[in-house]
Structure 1
Amino acid sequence: MSLTYTRNEKWHGNEGGPWMDGVEVTFIPEPAQWEAQFRAGNIHEGVGSPANVPIVAAEMEASQIVKFPPPGYGGTVSLSWLPDMPFHDERVRRAMSMSMDRNAVVDIYNNPADFEAVGIELTGYWYNPVSPAYGQFWLDPRGSDFGAAAAYMQHNVEEATKLLDAAGYNSGNQLEFDVIEHPRRAPIENRGEVLQAMWAEAGMKVNVTPADYTSEWQEYLSGGRGYVEWKTGRPAVLLKPNSADSDVLFWLTRFFSQAGSSVGGDEFPELDTMIFDARAIADFDARVAAVHDIQRYIVDQMVAVPYDAETESTEIYNVGVHGPERWVPWMGLENYGAASSTLAKHYWLDAALHG
């Protein structure tokens, strides 16, 4: 199935009509068929499964891998703030973070070794949860500038176990909670199962529970802000994707302030003050410094536990695709923009690829 758009000679945008002869948008729901069509030269971008990109690149001479900045979202393990929940204890929140092996997350979801085998070097980034796509506004939690709170992002199961024990959770009183995955992302990522295994190493008992998108996910996410009881009656955490925004402070407002969905509920009023004070700063360097301080605070208090760790994004194209080689706009600038929608008029195909 496809949609074909043809050149409109009467288009008012520039003299002589649009630059493109036309656009054909193809709908291919099955990744295997997508890859088959790419290999056959019928489509010129993507193979459906990111894991197959280096495989196809190694086998198909007329292909090229391109890479662009990491995704602009910043997923968090968002916590329940109902009374008597274990997550009110910062030692529990920090232990959850320190149980995570973020380098392993990079390897699991991005396969950098497979890309290196075909000549593409990828860098692993830790979200804090601010994305490295925001450039200078992102503060690397592995860098010396992050300060003492950086320790809570390091993989340290021994220290995580000590923190849990100090909070009263051990083999005789195991910390148990449910993980609620995004219903549309869970079948693809299985991220809940990955975190479940990591948390188990520190002695936590974690149940990955399904959620209906409309009746459960949206109610718990949008209406709850951490104050809605989960259906099992157990403590629960939400794997919240936190999609990208046009500006890092708008993103922080959407997801971390009480004016937005506030993954921290009403528990961190000082964070609200920091975000809105930073939005009023016009000087670029001072604004960057203020955003860095916000990131240090979020990690120190572990307002929500960052779970994303990514490399640069990658895609595969036919070598007959030409243009400015700005394949996907920086995710800090456009939420869901892509070359196909934003920059398509600047690209063209070799004559051999014309159908």
Structure 2
Amino acid sequence: MADNYWDNYWRERKSRRRFLGGALATGAGASALALVGCGDDDDDGGDSLATPTAGAQATATPVDPLAGAKKGGVYKIDAAGDPPTLDPYGNISFLTKGAAAAHYSRLFMYKAGPGIAYGSVRPTPDAAQSAEASPDGMKWTVKLKPNVKFHNLAPVNGRAMTTEDLKVSWERANSATSTNKPSAAMPVDKVEFPDASTMVFTMSKPSAVFLDVLADSNIFYIMPKEAFATSGGFDPAKMMIGSGPWVWNKYEPSVKWLRDRNPAWHNGGTAGAPFFDQVETSIIPEYANRLAQFLAGNTDSSDVNADDLPSLIKQLPNARIEARTGPTLSFTFFDPEAIASGFAKDPRVRQAISMSYDRDALMELGYNVKKLRDAGLKVETKWHNLVPAGETAWWVDPTGPEMGDAGKYFKYNPTEAKALLSAAGFPSGLETTFQYTANRYGKLFNDIAEAMIAYQTAVGVKSTTDVQDYSSKYITQTFLGNFKGIAFGYETPFPEAGSYLTRFFTDNPTNHSRINDPAMLKIAQDAASEVSEEKRKALFVQAQKLNAEKMFYIPNVAGAGTGWSASQANIRNATEFVTKAYGGYAEVVPFRWKG
């Protein structure tokens, strides 16, 4: 490997090799609040923050996003349900990850601020002071900030963070039971902790995504060593004690969370964020109830269905409305046995199912496109590919020329779908089971799932429907590939697009269909280490074309359209900033206030 490896990497990204410290709050604000995750973008999202691209009623962004910030008060929001566990290493649910971001720090996080678009957010130090790569990209040295303290709650009692905490957290993150291993996304040979503030990663090959993995709110949270103690510690499945912006106050399952301001937050900056004294998150499973609570002024921010947006704007003309486009991938997938040796082994079956879907009609069903456009609102109608439409730097338009002949498998063509099924040995169709969860992702997702069943039936794929509970069955079994037949769901909105390739095609517990395709595996591995933006983009094009040709995973349109959320008129920084994935409680909420 040439000595100028890392210089080339940053030259490609017009950046420096070293990420130096600096409080996030100094130049960062908040992104819009819309509680999603694996969740629906305009309905039952969950307890993490979404990603706006425009504000229909947005005010002009001030030069200083924190100018005039006022401290105090309670920020009242909602969540669609309870997390299956509070332990961020105990479950892959977006509800768990979103809650974890409030309490636990990461080494890096994503920097939001004026002019930083959703697709352009980059890692910035969180608990880390700096991260420096060797010239050949084979070693990373990460230094902790000296002022990171855990919350002043027993048994941790406000002590300083050290690499002892990093060591036990890293081991837990990479344990056999961990479903989002950092080492699965980057080639780490070993990790050393030479002193109380230094963590050294030695790589088997360079990683183009190292900082993104450390910033990913799905993956690596720093927990105090007391969370892993056999005695004298605390149970992380029942309580969260970290060093993040919000301190544990109370959690009443199916009722609410209360989180207090952390006055010692290391990213508070000179302005002293967080600004709210408390965040109150009401757990309200029913969308209609959440909307009613917002319209009555009982909550400060909430997601809004596209169908309800015109009437909300009419009723609350000064509400701060934010739009966000396509950060959450929806997809059809198959059980591993069906792919390996069963009905879905022949790619023509998978192609036929994809061609049975009328994606334009599904987009209209979910996103009320015509009515909103008639009302003068900008509504996106891009379709997801293997990479979601919101990842504009890496997404390939399924209808565009880059897809070549593979693009035909996205087009609605029931006649050809029937012909493909017949050619694959199912002239009279086939029977299977179709599973999805209907009690977490919301009406948009549910409507599209039900319509998909009808489309599949029309071409001969007849299914028994299994509507599953999200917490007890879907996220713990089906999402992990433990099911029979066909499933439909949302994929995690990864901050780094290469994580989609890693999730879908490498040897990890969340390879949903256990796809073992050498070509796709090589693309995923090459994309993780390729430092040239041009070459990396070519790999993403190749991956999306090859998946379309074989339709291992069938991308859909739920999550691809324009989703909406609203905040009361007095919530500052409600629409001006963006972030990715589940980190909003740290990257967003601390920088909001009422004024």
- Structures share fold, TM-score greater than 0.5: yes
- Counterpart of 2:456 (choices 194, 199, 206) is 199
1:270 is aligned to 2:525? no
Residue in 2 aligned with 1:46? 302
Of 208, 216, 222, the match for 2:480: 222
Amino acid at match of 1:32: A
Asked if 1:291 is matched to 2:291, the reply is no
Q: CA deviation at 1:115?
A: 2.4
Aligned-residue offset at 1:269: 2.2
Deviations 1:77-112 (A, max 9, x none): 234434652211111111110001111121122222
**8 Å CA contact 1:263, 1:304 repeated in 2:** no
Deviation, 1:4, is 6.1
Structure 2 unaligned regions, length at least 5: 1-254
Change (3 A) 1:327 1:50: farther
Name the structure 1 match of 2:500.
251
Q: Distance in 2 between matches of 1:35 and 1:89?
A: 45
CA contact (8 A) 1:278 1:287 kept: yes
Contact 2:313 2:319 (8 Å CA) reproduced: yes
Cα RMSD between the aligned structures?
2.9
Q: Is residue 320 of structure 1 aligned with residue 570 of structure 2?
A: yes
Query: What residue is the counterpart of 1:134 in the other structure?
Result: 391
Query: Structure 2 CA distance, aligned partners of 1:253 and 1:266?
Result: 11
Aligned with 1:147: secondary structure? Answer: helix
| Equivalent in 106, 109, 118 of residue 375 of structure 2 | 118
Distance 1:183 1:131, change over 3 A: same
Gaps of 5+ in 1: 231-235, 351-355
The TM-score normalised by the length of structure 1 is 0.82
Counterpart for residue 89 of structure 1: 346
- Pair 1:336-2:582 in alignment: yes
Say how many residue pairs are matched: 334
| C-alpha contact (below 8 Å) 1:77/1:306 kept by paired residues | no
**Where does residue 353 of structure 1 map in the other structure?**
none
Q: Offset at 1:26?
A: 3.9
Q: Could you say if the C-alpha distance between residues 9 and 153 of structure 1 is closer, same or farther in structure 2, counting changes exceeding 3 Å?
A: closer
Query: Retained in 2: the 8 A contact 1:193–1:208?
Result: no
Instruction: Tell me the CA shift for residue 319 of structure 1.
Output: 3.0
Distance in 2, matches of 1:218 and 1:264, equals 14
Counterpart in the other structure of 1:300: 549
Amino acid at match of 2:404: G
Say if 1:62 and 1:209 are closer, same or farther in 2 by CA, change over 3 A.
same
Q: Which has the higher helix share?
A: 1
Q: Among 56, 69, 75, which residue is 2:325 paired with?
A: 69
Measure the CA separation in 2 of the matches of 1:43 and 1:145. Answer: 45
- CA gap of 1:129–1:58, structure 2 versus 1, over 3 A, is farther
- Deviations 1:114-140 (Å, cap 9, x if unpaired)? 322432120112112210222211111
| The 10-residue stretch of structure 1 (244-253 or 65-74) with the greater mean CA deviation from structure 2 | 65-74
Q: State percent identity of aligned pairs.
A: 24
184-193 vs 196-205, greater mean Cα deviation? 184-193
Which piece of structure 1 moves more, 119-128 or 2-11?
Answer: 2-11
Other structure's SS at 1:275 match: helix
Change (3 A) 1:57 1:167: same
Q: In 2 relative to 1, CA 180–36 (structure 1 residues): closer, same or farther, beyond 3 Å?
A: closer
Greater Cα offset, 55-64 or 138-147: 55-64
1:200 CA drift (Å)? 1.9
Q: Report what 2:277 is aligned to.
A: 22
- Deviating more after overlay: 177-186 vs 99-108: 177-186
In 2, Cα distance between equivalents of 1:36 and 1:86: 46
Given the two structures, how large is their TM-score scaled by the length of structure 2?
Answer: 0.51
Note if contact 1:57-1:118 (Cα within 8 Å) is conserved in structure 2.
no
Q: Which amino acid aligns with 1:178?
A: T
Q: Deviations over 1:140-161 (max 9, x none)?
A: 1111111110000011111111
